[in-house]
Structure 1
């Protein structure tokens, strides 16, 4: 059996020992440097707008889009967010570009009812699994299990997050899904369950249960974590230590399952490292969603502190925790391991800083001023661009892919 409790205890100890002081960062930005990057951001945004008309999209498809869009995107990542050349080689590698397109085609064929936003939700997990493939020295591709596990998110998460579905209905769904994960022949009660049960079949095809028992133990672990996380909705009286344990279990188990569905087999050291990585990503999600979680009465380490004048010490603690947790990933020996770790750390910390800037009501002015120096963009600029950038991203996402004929899987 997976030593989930042991991993939780290990990372709870790291969390408790993590400092609450502002961490050091590789570089800070002057007002002039931030202004230059904001100008570069605006220039990129204007360029993207030129790609959005149907006429221009067709022109892109007639040519190699890599010769048009990706050089612009490379310049954006380099001149706005200061990613290093070796990190850009990973982000913009042909492997990563091809798997994103491949996943979209497969997702649209499997679930034509899914919106581009739903597919994008699954694609984020694809990128995590692709990163694990790179760290493990495994070919970066959409395997049946990479596809299936990433598709589980838009189906199961949307059901569990749907406020119109009662808690009992969610518990009943979790029970039936748990039965199917254990290999039982369960009759689906609706279309969502039917799709989820098909996805489990893809796991079974790639990883036969009798040959890869820990693959399924990892799936049981994430199902247990998700079921326990239902206790965080509209809960009262849960101690902070219990909330922390549930959050750690949910996040850690999720990426541990990523690892098993990529590799089939892992060492105990690798299990623990992936569990810690998952916790860090969960904490990032909680920081990003602190306002929404508080409004939905969903408890997390951060939302349960909503109303506290300054959550800065908890953000600091998260970054210190994450840096220690990410070091454990060095147990993997992929050829791009060093560059990959730097890329992951840089990306996550950039998102943490951005999330603070987007939720100024949760932090003191002193903390905002201190952290803003390490952001390539001013917090005010980030807030101004957030809604516009999000809608623009999905608009381009839809227009680019909606004109591509559906291919057979």
Structure 2
């Protein structure tokens, strides 16, 4: 099936198409940029210096209101410098306005989230923030006005509620099915009667999407929301020790779940999408889902949550599956130029670089699941040495704990609130 023949929002055909594209992708290493050892060490030094500056600055949070204003201005500069480390002065100048847009929406989202539900933790808001970043990124790529729309706020904030509800081992399968039915009926425009506090909040958030998008004019927005809901329901079959799904069935679930999740983002940003945009968003969502599956493999095994990655990992190493992922990701990122209305090549390259780093970190987190031959070749393409990447999260947590001890929990929370407030 050619790209021009993709039936808009025929999820079955899209899943079938991209399953074949995945299977047709070579299991050889794709052409990736080789990073020299010297450049890796330089990048590590820049990263460590940037992190130390940020955490030291967090620990010096002032008490006076006037001092706080100056502190935030300086912190913003530190955030810019860290985000754009390794770029030339000219490229930094090009990219700074984009970083500014992200930070502005992050502040608005945090403030609106706490206003909507004061019980939300900053960990839960941070969980939702990843989707906000994706949606702001798409606003830029699709040349839309950047800001926190009702749709972006509502859909992103659904994540802490729906994900935690559906992933909970304390709730029965029957309760999860009832919750999914309530969401589905609300998306279909039916009147619903939520039974508990979480369900009520989910219904309110979905109503905010209805306020932005009139159903008849933007029916594809709601079809895409139903598509991700259906994919989420299918993913419930992945849970439990008695799961008997084969590799193809599990891959189909990851393709459908991942593809529809990013497709929804596109519709919430634009309202309507063309075929090239659908193709790019669906395929990019697949890559992100497989990356998530690799990143979460240990937790998934503990929770008896079966994915194509856990299925392969039970019997073999992840070499071929991951080379397949790398080739698939490199291929689809070439399509970014076709949908990028912003047309800023420096920003486009920035996005591609960050996307590949996301893949790299997921792989290095689980390096023991790969052969030494794979890791020896793979390390050539990493932005840092393998040892540094493996220990980065541990080092970050150490720096974070040290700063928390210096400030105390209450004061540290105040710092986080101040940073992310609009």
Q: TM over 0.5, yes or no?
A: yes
What residue ranges of structure 2 are gaps of 5+ in the alignment?
1-7, 405-411
Are 2:358 and 1:351 aligned? yes
Q: Corresponding residue for 2:123?
A: 117
1:60-84 CA distances to partner (integer Å, 9 max, x unpaired)?
6321634x23443344344469999
Stretch of structure 1 that moved more, 258-267 or 44-53: 44-53
Choose from 276, 284, 303 the match for 2:291: 284
Give the distance between the partners of 1:325 and 1:83, measured in 2 at CA.
30
1:303-350 CA distances to partner (integer Å, 9 max, x unpaired)?
212244521221111011112223334442412364444233211211
Q: 1:337 to 1:326 in 2, by over 3 A?
A: farther
Give the distance between the partners of 1:306 and 1:157, measured in 2 at CA.
24
Stretch of structure 1 that moved more, 303-312 or 17-26: 303-312
Q: 1:5 to 1:392 in 2, by over 3 A?
A: farther
Are 2:184 and 1:209 aligned? no
Give the distance between the partners of 1:379 and 1:299, measured in 2 at CA.
28
Stretch of structure 1 that moved more, 267-276 or 94-103: 267-276
> How far did residue 180 of structure 1 move?
1.3
Q: 1:143 to 1:14 in 2, by over 3 A?
A: same
> How far did residue 377 of structure 1 move?
1.9
Are 2:215 and 1:200 aligned? no
Q: 1:192 to 1:243 in 2, by over 3 A?
A: same
Give the distance between the partners of 1:406 and 1:79, measured in 2 at CA.
25
Give the distance between the partners of 1:365 and 1:82, measured in 2 at CA.
35
Q: 1:358 to 1:84 in 2, by over 3 A?
A: farther
Are 2:206 and 1:191 aligned? no
What residue ranges of structure 1 are gaps of 5+ in the alignment?
none
Q: Corresponding residue for 2:172?
A: 166
Choose from 109, 113, 121 the match for 1:107: 113
Are 2:359 and 1:361 aligned? no
Q: Corresponding residue for 1:22?
A: 29
Give the root-mean-square deviation of aligned CA atoms: 2.7
> How far did residue 405 of structure 1 move?
11
Secondary structure of the residue that 1:52 maps to in structure 2? helix
Secondary structure of the residue that 2:50 maps to in structure 1? helix
Stretch of structure 1 that moved more, 54-63 or 176-185: 54-63
Give the distance between the partners of 1:356 and 1:164, measured in 2 at CA.
30
Q: 1:77 to 1:16 in 2, by over 3 A?
A: same
Are 2:417 and 1:402 aligned? yes
Q: 1:305 to 1:398 in 2, by over 3 A?
A: farther
Matched residue count? 405
Are 2:150 and 1:144 aligned? yes
> How far did residue 182 of structure 1 move?
1.2
1:21-77 CA distances to partner (integer Å, 9 max, x unpaired)?
1222223221x43333322222222212222236348676321634x2344334434
- Could you tell me the TM-score, scaled by structure 1's length? 0.90
Give the distance between the partners of 2:238 and 2:67, measured in 1 at CA.
46
Q: 1:127 to 1:83 in 2, by over 3 A?
A: farther
> How far did residue 230 of structure 1 move?
0.5
> How far did residue 268 of structure 1 move?
3.1
Secondary structure of the residue that 1:324 maps to in structure 2? helix
